[in-house]
């Protein structure tokens, strides 16, 4: 069991470039989440997917899009990267609405210059 995996681990982008962060879980969880973590702050929810085929905005969705490709995979896309999107991005998953524990991936450290 790999748990939650994320690729890439590190990425440097120039302003205006696009990229997709990949996330996969092998725990058969229904719900998946994308968070960002900025220095001195806790994690803030970008988007979530309660179940396969559904996605919803979180607290800070602007500048991002997501795709729940199947039950295992949930990707986050930056269409036109901005320096304000420099952050560490975490993907997480949980069994569903009644689950109380979220399992986190190792994170992707993104720098936009």
Partner 1 sequence: AQKITQTQPGMFVQEKEAVTLDCTYDTSDPSYGLFWYKQPSSGEMIFLIYQGSYDQQNATEGRYSLNFQKARKSANLVISASQLGDSAMYFCAMRDRGTSYGKLTFGQGTILTVHP
Contact 90, 37 (CB under 8 A): yes
Does position 97 interact with partner 1 (CB under 8 A)? The reply is: yes
- Of residues 92, 110, 111, 113, which one binds partner 1 by CB under 8 A? 92
Does position 71 interact with partner 1 (CB under 8 A)? The reply is: no
CA distances from 53 to 61, 78, 88, 94 (A): 18, 20, 26, 16
Per-residue DSSP letter, 41: S
**Which spans of this chain sit near partner 1 (rule: CB under 8 A)?**
31, 33, 40-45, 48, 50, 56, 58, 88, 90, 92, 94, 96-97, 99-104, 106-107, 109
């Amino acid at each position: 069991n790999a748990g939650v995996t994320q690729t890439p681990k590190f990425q440097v982008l120039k302003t205006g470039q696009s990229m997709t962060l990949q996330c996969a879980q092998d725990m058969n969880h229904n719900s998946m989440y994308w968070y960002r973590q900025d220095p001195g702050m806790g994690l803030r929810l970008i988007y979530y997917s309660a179940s396969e085929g559904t996605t919803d905005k979180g607290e800070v969705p602007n500048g991002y899009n997501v795709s729940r490709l199947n039950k295992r995979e949930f990707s986050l896309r930056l269409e036109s990267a901005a320096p304000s999107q420099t952050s560490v991005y975490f993907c997480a998953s949980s069994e569903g609405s009644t689950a109380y524990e979220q399992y986190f991936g190792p994170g992707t450290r993104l720098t936009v210059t």
